[in-house]
Amino acid sequence: MKKETYAKKHLPPGPWQEEDDKITWITSSGLEGAAIRHPELGHWCGYIRVEKEHPWWGHRTHDDVDVPGGITYADHHLPDPDEMNQPDLFNGWWVGFGCAHGCHQIPGLGKPYGRYVTRSQVIQYVEDLARQASEATEE
């Protein structure tokens, strides 16, 4: 697991101050996974990378996927400037979700209500998404 931490002085005190901000790993399903904190709002977003042969490749909607708020991102790269210049940009398709919906606490909005999705929870959500993606290839 590769971890990175960024300055979060713009966010109020909370558990997010002690967490990493970007984590990449190979999921237990064998897919690349990433958890990236939104740089301004401070909530987590989770992603997996599928190959060209995968049925999700090139599709932006996935109604039957169970992740917080549904799939809200699908593109050739992660929404991270560091990733946009990678040499294998068009060999993968990243599918992801955000933890910034009505039931979630969003640190950068100063919203004191809702449930904050922690680092360990977003990792589990990414693992669940990878499992669902692996199952989609078996159908």
Give 7-37 pLDDT, tens digit per residue. 888 999 999 999 999 999 999 999 999 999 9
Task: Look at residue 46 and tell me whether its pLDDT is greater than 60.
Answer: yes
Predicted local confidence at residue 82, as pLDDT: 61
Q: How far apart are CA 64 and CA 86, in angstroms?
A: 30
34: left (phi over 0), alpha (psi -120 to 50) or beta: beta
Instruction: Provide the pLDDT for residue 137.
Output: 83
Contact assessment for residue 24 and residue 2, using Cβ atoms and an 8 Å cutoff:
yes
pLDDT at 4 over 70: yes
Task: For residue 6, name the pLDDT band (cuts at 50, 70, 90).
Answer: confident
Taking the domains of the chain in order of start, what are their residue ranges? 2-138
> Residue 124 in contact with residue 97, Cβ under 8 Å?
no
Q: What is the mean pLDDT of residues 129-138?
A: 91
| Mean pLDDT (whole number) for 35-42 | 92
Buried b (16+ CB within 10 A) or exposed e, 91-124: ebbbbbbbbbeeebbbbbeeeeebebbebebbbe
Does domain 2-138 fall into CATH 1.25.40? Answer: no
Nearest alpha-carbon partner for 68 in 40, 35, 90, 91: 35
The secondary structure of residue 31, as a DSSP letter, is S
pLDDT in tens, 79-117: 765 655 555 555 689 999 999 988 888 999 887 778 999
